[in-house]
Structure 1
C-alpha cells in the first residue's frame, strides 16, 4: 500500500508541470520534525500555503509575513517567494493550475482560513491525480470562492525599494531591537532625517516607527514559536514591560501571544 508520504511526493512531482493531463488542483498535507527553509523560487501554479501547527515566515517582492495556524498565504502563479519555518511544523498546500487563477488575487496576500476553506483543502488532499469527478469540481469551486472573496491580512512588513531604505530595513529585520534613532539611521544612510521619514511612508505606507514596530512583532512571533517566555521576548525587543508588549500584540493580531500559535492539528495526526 502506498504511504501518505509517497502520495505527497508523487503529487509534488507534478506541480511544476501542471497541464491539462492533471487535475486543476493538487493538494497535499504533511509535517516536518525539523525546521525547513526554501530559497527564492516560483511555481507556474498558484499556491495557497497554510499550517496546522508551528510558524513560518514567507517573503515575496511585496514584503514579508509571519504565518500562524489561522492564516494562509496566497502566492499567484510565477511570483517569486521564499519560506522558512521556525522549528517543526505541520501544514498543507494547494496548487492551482494557472488557467484557474484568473479570478483570484494577482498579488501575494495572507488571508484568514475559514473552517470551510480548511475542510475543503483537507478533503482535496485525499484525492489522487485523476480527472475530477463532479463532486470534486464542486469542492474545488468552494476553494476558489474562498480565496477570491478573502480580505488581505493587515499585518505585512512591506520592503522599500530605495537602496538606502532597504539597507536600514534589512538591518532592522536582522536586529529589530536596535534602538538607534531616525537621525542616527539617516546619518548611516547619508540622507536627511526628513527625507528618510518621507521616503519610508512613500515606499511602505508606514512611518519609520511603525515599520520598526512591525519588524519587532515579526521577531516576537518567531521567538514565541521557539518557546521563549513572553517576558523575555518583550524585554529583549525593547518594550518597557511585558504588559506593553502584550497590549500591542493584542491590538495588532486580535489575540494574546499565548493563543496566537495554538495548534490545530487534524485528527489523523494526533497521538
Structure 2
C-alpha cells in the first residue's frame, strides 16, 4: 500500500502550542490508513494516541505499534515520525516542556486509562484558542494522571544501517513473512553473515529474535480489536495458536488474555 507523506504542520494547521497559561493542548484529526507524518520535532512534548485505529510511532531508533489502549510519550525536541497503520482518530496531546511529567525520559509507553481517555475527549470539546478555568482543570488532572499510568512496552528497536533498515521496514510492513535471512540478504544487497552481524551489533539481538518482537508488536492491535488468537497466529506466521501464546508468555510473562485484560 502506498504511503501518503505529509508535513508536520499541514494536518495540524491552527494548532495552539502549549504555554504557561495553557500547559496542555490538543488537536483532533481523523486520518486514513497509510498517512504518514514525516520525522519532525518541536519545543513541547507530545503524547501520541488514537481513540480508534492503529499508529506506528518511530523515535530514538525504536518503533512502536500503538493501538487505542496505549500511547507513546515523546519528550520535547525528540525527533519522531507517525504512520497510520489503520484509519485512526488521532488525538495528539501537547504538553509544555516546563510541565514534563517524565523528566529525563525521551520516550515512554503508557497504558491509556479510562480517565485519561475521558480527559482527552473532554479537552477536545473546548476551544483551543480560548483557555478557560475548565481547560486548566482538565490539564492539571491530566498531568496528575500521566505519571500514574502503567507501562507495558512492546518496543521494536530500529537500525541505522540502510541495508538493515530496509529489511526491518519490510518486515514491519509484513510481519508474517517467512523468508529467511539469506533471502533478505539478496534483497538488500548484503551477505547473510553481514546482516547477522549487524543485527547483533546495532540491535543487540538475532534476526529471529527481532522478527519475534515485530510480530508481537503487531499482535497488540489485532487482539485489541477482537481478532481470534488463531487468526492472529496465522497472520503473523506462527505454526499454531499455542506456539504464538507460548512466545507471548515467554516475552511478557503472561498469556495474551491476561496481558490485554482491561
- For 1:38, the equivalent position in structure 2 comes to 36
- Structure 2 residues without counterparts, runs of 5 or longer: 1-11
CA–CA separation in structure 2 for the residues paired with 1:222 and 1:115: 18
TM-score by length of 1: 0.69
Change (3 A) 1:245 1:124: same
State the structure with more CA Rg: 1
- Cα drift, residue 198 of structure 1: 5.0
- For 1:269, the equivalent position in structure 2 comes to none
Which of 88-97 and 243-252 deviates more?
243-252
Asked if the contact 1:173/1:215 (under 8 Å) is kept, the reply is yes
In structure 2, the residue corresponding to 1:248 is in which secondary structure? helix
CA–CA separation in structure 1 for the residues paired with 2:261 and 2:59: 22
CA displacement, residues 156-198 of structure 1 (integer Å, 9 cap, x when unaligned): 11101133432332332244334344466567664573x6445
1:217 paired with 2:216, answer: yes
TM-score by length of 2: 0.71
In structure 2, the residue corresponding to 1:58 is in which secondary structure? strand
Q: How does 1:202-213 map to 2 (within 5 A)?
A: 202-213=201-212
- For 1:130, the equivalent position in structure 2 comes to 130
Aligned alpha-carbon RMSD (Å): 3.9
Change (3 A) 1:75 1:30: same
In structure 1, the residue corresponding to 2:86 is in which secondary structure? coil
CA–CA separation in structure 2 for the residues paired with 1:26 and 1:38: 22
CA–CA separation in structure 2 for the residues paired with 1:120 and 1:222: 22
Change (3 A) 1:255 1:69: farther
- For 1:93, the equivalent position in structure 2 comes to 92
CA–CA separation in structure 2 for the residues paired with 1:87 and 1:175: 14
Asked if the contact 1:27/1:93 (under 8 Å) is kept, the reply is yes
- Structure 1 residues without counterparts, runs of 5 or longer: 1-10, 263-271
Change (3 A) 1:174 1:127: closer
In structure 1, the residue corresponding to 2:117 is in which secondary structure? helix
CA displacement, residues 67-124 of structure 1 (integer Å, 9 cap, x when unaligned): 1122111122233323233434335331112333385454122211233433333333
